A and B are shown apart, each in its own frame.
Chain A
């Protein structure tokens, strides 16, 4: 398949016909074609849409239930995608054939690569989005996804079996019951992606009302009750907030600093060579700053501000303007004014999240010179919501005590679209696999940011909304945005054959190019002759390869290709990736050992039903308590627990090896079965209409 053809396929696809979509999805339970699915996804946000699409891609008959179909794919907060760390997640979701990367390319109206000057491992692809276009794309994708049905409705209850008498406290999910639905809808897997709607409350000034997003009905209390009371899950509470939206015409933009986008937009998706928005059509962002007046208004209105007075854990990052002022008094804070869409007349003031009464909000923003006459379209507000402590989940994002119940997104204590999408995708893959009787799959923190995210969540839990940073990834130099496809697409668990083949083509092309560079050997003397402008520091007699040369700051693949067109010009499309690869490869090689070690530990699974208190292994009471509380899924996770001693890990290793050997003897045929399933999976994928 030709790369440019894939790209044009993506971008020339008819813009979605929203009307027909809405009429199609506005089904009622009584009209459903079936009462039983493999996978039911509850929620239509970033986690829910990725989950539903991924489950369907894996081959599961999937139902997406959401309160309001026209808010599927809505950007509840900031109109942007990606950034440093978050952009890494978008690239990885795309590499696994998720939606958000392509949706970003479709809806983006301002593209830029953050950290451009700081090294490709930490480049942060980012885009401002047109809210309307983003929603359209997501909705149209879901509509055209085979095996996926969308249903408008409110989930009244989660159906679970009585606890298994042989394994006390263990349940199995069987389906859901809709409010005003006459029959239950059955499924082997259910994914909850309730976002801020799980017992959500909205805060503006001193008023509080139930709900997860302004303008939308609150969700039923049934779900929360089932999770808490029937399944006995530990639930915590977090808070977040959103800024007021400002009428663009009322802003004095001449008092701001203009921030133009990149002149050549870089698409998120590995399948796209260009974005829908033409370079010249892109819109700028504007930067302005808070003033001492803003501090004053915050302080004067504290008594009118319920949200900020309550002590529910808020994040140290993305805090409201109130907590910024209180935590770092007397400082000037940045405020970004971001476009909400190509034709939108609103601006989104990033950094001005606030929960004071609307009249005070107006007073506050008018303390900023550029906003001195600004009008507020919708006031900002705060949200508090329940989350399930994620240490109760397996690395497949399944609730450990409830077979078939998966959780993704803010319900697991994360913040951000990208974090939600990443979990949704992985929960979708595993929910589908579970429903189709395939073994769960895990992504290692050594191979992806998604793996880092999930491992951090399930093995350490959260105390504040979890956001991705590149500093969380210990193998940052290996986990780059540029190589997400090579790291993940080829695993082939949930990707279309089109994407798979494209990744194979890229991998082979890169390998050939690197081999060509490696065989290109000349003495330093000859290199100096060929490329007189670069200062080669090695002594004169050394032989250098093309790879060695590429490690020089001022040498690019393009330069080498111009000198050796016959052997290098076939690989021009990979030139940027080759430039990066040449510099990073020696560092990545050094990390390989450590990566192998961690992967080996991660492959040693600890059974979930171990009774650590009676385990016939020499462990201290303290270690037994830690293990019993956290129930790590693998030896790797156990090793990272605080309070584990080396001796305890060795004793656990002995136990794992011992039981592992016994296990192999009894299930000798398992690997073959697994391979068959993989083949079957590929076959299903191959039959997907592209």
Chain B
């Protein structure tokens, strides 16, 4: 098992929480600059605690030993801290850029009288995404601060004995839900250009580490030329420069899609594009009676009951020999995998008349639509899907009513809505169900908020750059400490791209070098 200690999510679960408060982490770092913050003693976390969407006030929570430092830096409090648990109106500033970001309330909760039992701070700021992003980024640049992992606040509270075992019954489920939300979000970003960039860095960094490790473990007995290290020097240098440039780039390479991701999926000609057009009340997608009309993903931004939604219409799922359509189907499946909510559209006319048979048909249909290679046969969480039975105008009224009544009572099926995009029948009920689903999703600050992952990525990239500086600093004096720098860099990057184990490094070593002794 290996050096790369990114055991991400679980990290804090068993941490000692009564952290020593003698020495603020910035002091510690100064004894050994070049070591990335956040991998250090630090362990002070922050996150947006309120949901996103249209809201007046956003709450950002900070917890850990550096909370006081963060409060001082951000609220411009040079000397005394505010009285505990009392709201104070301050200008919130970015201490590095010396720029006022917002005016808002700050609250100071010294340990142990806080939710987590640690020193904590809350910032109540205006709810706009720009302000929230700016404050999160400013917090990330305070020494010793890092974005919280999924469920970390709750876990800290649990560890500090602030929650009883019964109160925490749902903790596993909560973490599962948050991890899922993060996984979907990561998938969304990793499938794009940004993802390819990070993967490429990770790949190059792995080779650097493998070559340094090979030099350390084998060069005394084997033919491993000194040139190997020079190559690593060059790679580290290039990587560092690329990352620094990337961090400076205000455009961040790729616009991140904001909002709850709702995807319309189903068989061809079920009326998916009609549903999109009905929902956005304009002909955003071409509709025709020809199966396979939609071949690419059609996206449109919507406001549903005040919550931002990004609605995507996808190609109908079927096996096709047409290359373009096959690519469309692949993209459709990818979207479904990344979606927060999927609307599975079914043509009523294909439903068996017997209700039991109809239910079995729908279950089978759901499976075929939603099954991915990564998660074959796993139970489908019902709150991520809606079944939309379209074209009710084509079935007799009594059959429609029977379906409506009886399908609701079948267990194992997600909520079922019967609509007709042609007559708009049932549309109002469907919108109510959709609205309540979107609202639930928006209450979770993790879903659909790219600013959070963006802040996380930035923090990890900054750590990675700092760790690479350690390699350069120790390159000639102590290769073991220099290698430690590359290990730390890979750990930081691994928090974005996935953990790298020792075996993976050994695999590269044995592929690239003939180790004989």
Contacts and interface: CB of A to CB of B under 8 A. Distances in A.
Interface of A: 83-85, 114-115, 117-122, 124, 316-319, 324, 327-328, 331-334, 336, 350-351, 445, 452, 455-456, 459-460, 469-474, 476-477, 553, 583-584, 586-587, 589-590, 592-594, 596-597, 600-601, 604, 618, 635, 639-640, 645-651, 653-654, 657-658
Contacts of A474: 1-5, 487, 502
A593 B13 contact: no
A324 B516 contact: yes
Given A350-B517, A471-B502, A651-B172, A445 B1 contact: yes
29 contacts: A118-B215, A118-B480, A120-B480, A124-B220, A318-B516, A319-B516, A324-B514, A328-B514, A333-B223, A333-B514, A334-B516, A455-B1, A459-B1, A460-B1, A469-B217, A470-B480, A474-B4, A587-B484, A596-B16, A618-B173, A645-B179, A646-B175, A646-B176, A647-B176, A650-B172, A653-B13, A654-B165, A654-B168, A654-B171
Nearest to B477: A553
A640 B1 contact: yes
A28 B182 CA distance: 68
B217 A650 contact: no
Nearest to A352: B516
A312 to B, nearest CB: 18
A327 B217 contact: no
Interface in B160-203: 165, 168, 171-173, 175-176, 179
Given A351-B516, A590-B41, A646-B175, A476 B480 contact: yes
B372 to A, nearest CB: 16
Contact of A333 (B176, B474, B516): B516
B13 A476 contact: no
B216 interface: yes
Those 5 A-B pairs whose CB atoms lie nearest each other, nearest first: A119-B480, A119-B478, A586-B32, A121-B480, A474-B3
B217 A646 contact: no
B40 interface: yes
Contacts of A452: 1
Contacts of A648: 172
- The winner among A317, A584, A635 for most chain B CB atoms within 10 A is A317
Interface in B1-24: 1-5, 7-11, 13-16
Contacts of B5: 474, 594
Interface residues of B, number: 61
A472 B510 contact: no
A592 B517 CA distance: 34
B517 A639 contact: no
A583 B216 contact: no
Contacts of A119: 474, 477-482
A350 B222 CA distance: 11
Contacts of A471: 2-3, 213, 216-217, 502, 505-506, 509
A324 B517 CA distance: 11
Contact of A316 (B1, B13, B40, B510): B510
A600 B7 contact: no
A597 B165 CA distance: 21
Contacts of B172: 618, 647-648, 650-651, 654
Contact of B479 (A85, A114, A118): A118
Contacts of A333: 223, 514, 516
B88 interface: no
B221 A590 contact: no
Main secondary structure of the interface of A (DSSP, over half): helix
Contacts of A83: 220-221
A324 B223 CA distance: 13
A314 to B, nearest CB: 12
Contacts of A319: 516
B47 to A, nearest CB: 16
Contacts of B516: 317-319, 324, 333-334, 351
Nearest to B516: A351
Interface in B209-228: 213, 215-223
Given A474-B1, A645-B176, A597 B517 contact: no
B509 to A, nearest CB: 8
Given A115-B216, A650-B172, 17 more contacts: A121-B478, A316-B515, A317-B517, A333-B514, A334-B221, A334-B223, A583-B478, A586-B31, A586-B32, A590-B28, A590-B32, A593-B43, A597-B11, A647-B173, A650-B10, A653-B14, A654-B172
A351 B517 contact: yes
B35 interface: yes
B39 interface: yes
A317 B510 CA distance: 8
A597 B155 CA distance: 14
Contact of A639 (B2, B7, B155): B7
Nearest to A653: B13
A561 to B, nearest CB: 22
Contacts of B31: 586
Given A647-B176, A650-B171, A84 B477 contact: no
A584 B150 CA distance: 33
Nearest to B176: A647
Nearest to A649: B10
A587 B1 contact: no
Contacts of A584: 481
B167 to A, nearest CB: 12
A456 B221 CA distance: 25
A650 B478 CA distance: 39
Contacts of A85: 217
Contacts of A657: 165
Given A121-B480, A474-B1, A476-B480, A317 B173 contact: no
A409 to B, nearest CB: 20
Contacts of A583: 478, 481
Contacts of B150: 646
Contacts of A618: 172-173
Interface string B498-517: 00001001100110001111
A473 B41 CA distance: 20
A266 to B, nearest CB: 15
A332 B481 contact: no
A552 to B, nearest CB: 10
Nearest to B171: A650
A417 to B, nearest CB: 14
Interface in B35-88: 35, 39-41, 43
A105 to B, nearest CB: 21
A604 B159 CA distance: 14
B501 to A, nearest CB: 9
A590 B40 contact: yes
B222 A334 contact: yes
Nearest to B213: A471
Nearest to A639: B10
A229 to B, nearest CB: 33
Contacts of A328: 514
A317 B41 contact: no
Given A122-B479, A471-B502, A476 B3 contact: yes
B151 to A, nearest CB: 8
A597 to B, nearest CB: 6
A608 to B, nearest CB: 21
Contacts of A658: 165
A650 B517 contact: no
A17 to B, nearest CB: 36
B479 A646 contact: no
Interface string B423-449: 000000000000000000000000000
A144 to B, nearest CB: 35
